[in-house]
Amino acid sequence: MSAVLSTTSPAAGSQTSAAATIDGFHLVIEALKLNGIGTLYGLPGIPITDLTRMAQGEGLRVIAFRHEQNAGHAASIAGFLTGRPGVCLTVSAPGFLNGLTALANATTNCFPMILISGSSEREIVDLQQGDYEEMDQLAIAKPLAKAAFRVLHAEDIGVGIARAIRAAVSGRPGGVYLDLPAKLFAQTMEAAAGRASLIEVVDPAPRQIPAPEAVQRALELLRGAKKPLIVLGKGAAYARAEAEVRTLVERTGIPYLPMSMAKGLLPDTHELSAAAARSYVLPEADVVVLVGARLNWLLSHGKGKTWGGKAAKDWGGQKFVQIDISPTEADSNVRIDAPVVGDIGSCVSALLAGMGAAWPRPPAEWLNAVMERKAKNIAKMAETLAKDARPMNFHSALNVVRDIVKANPDAMLVNEGANALDFTRSIVDMMKPRKRVDVGTWGVMGIGMGYAVAAAIETGQPVIAIEGDSAFGFSGMEVETLCRYNLPVCVVIFNNNGVYRGTDKNLGGGADMAPTAFVKDARYEKMMEAFGGVGVYASTPAELKRGVEEALRSRRPTLVNAIIDETAGTESGRITSLNPAAAKKPQA
Ligand code: FYN
Ligand code: ADP
Q: Residue 425 Cα, ligand 2 centroid: separation in angstroms?
A: 19
Tens-digit pLDDT profile for residues 397-450: 999 999 999 999 999 999 999 999 999 999 999 999 999 999 999 999 999 999
**Vertex 170 angle, CA 169 and 174, to 5°:** 50
Topology alike, domains 22-196 and 212-370:
yes
Sign of the CA dihedral 115, 449, 500, 503?
A: positive
> How far is residue 247's CA from residue 176's CA, in Å, rounded to a whole number?
34
- CA-based Rg of the chain, rounded to a whole angstrom? 25
Closest Cα to atom 23 of ligand 1 = 278
Thinking of the domain 22-196, which architecture would CATH place it in? 3-Layer(aba) Sandwich (3.40)
Q: What does the DSSP 8-state code read for residue 303?
A: B
Which ligand places an atom closest to the C-alpha of 282? 1
- Residue pLDDT, tens place only, 273-317: 999 999 999 999 999 999 999 999 999 999 999 999 999 889 999
pTM: 0.96
**Of 73-77, 128-132, 171-175, 386-390, which range is least confident?**
386-390
DSSP-assigned states of every residue in 134-186: ---HHHHHGGGSSEEEE--SGGGHHHHHHHHHHHHHSSS--EEEEEEEHHHHH
Query: Is the C-beta atom of 340 inside 6 A of ligand 2?
Result: no
Query: Does domain 387-583 bear CATH number 3.40.50.970?
Result: yes
Whole-number pLDDT of residue 203 = 98
pLDDT digits (tens, 9 = 90+) for 346-392: 999 999 999 988 899 999 999 999 999 999 999 999 999 998 888 99
Helices 68-82 and 448-459: crossing angle in degrees, nearest 10, is 40
Q: Quick: pLDDT tens for 138-166.
A: 999 999 999 999 999 999 999 999 999 99
pLDDT digits (tens, 9 = 90+) for 106-126: 999 999 999 999 999 999 999
Q: What residue's CA is closest to ligand 1, atom 45?
A: 279
Q: Check residue 571 and give its pLDDT.
A: 84
Q: Is 340 left (phi over 0), alpha (psi -120 to 50) or beta?
A: beta
- Cis peptide before 255, with omega less than 30 degrees from 0? no
Q: Which residue has the higher pLDDT, 570 or 527?
A: 527
Tens digit of each residue's pLDDT (9 = 90 or more) over 546-574:
999 999 999 999 999 999 999 998 888 88
The Cα–Cα gap between 487 and 408 comes to 17
* Ligand 2 atom at shortest distance from the alpha carbon of 208: 24
What pLDDT score does 582 carry? 65
With a 6 Å cutoff on the Cβ, whether 298 touches ligand 2 is yes
Domain limits, the chain: 22-196, 212-370, 387-583
| Closest ligand 1 atom, residue 418 Cα | 44
* Domain range 212-370, its CATH number among 3.90.1170.50, 3.40.50.1220, 3.40.190.10, 3.40.50.800: 3.40.50.1220
Q: Point out which residues pair with 493 in neighbouring strands.
A: 467, 561
**Coil, helix or strand for 454?**
helix
Ligand 2 center to 420 CA (angstroms): 25
Backbone angles phi, psi at 490, to 5 degrees: -110, 110
The yes-or-no verdict on residue 13 having pLDDT over 50 is: no
The answer, yes or no, to whether any atom of ligand 2 lies below 6 A from the CB of 270, is no
Q: What are phi and psi of 119, to 5 degrees?
A: -145, 170
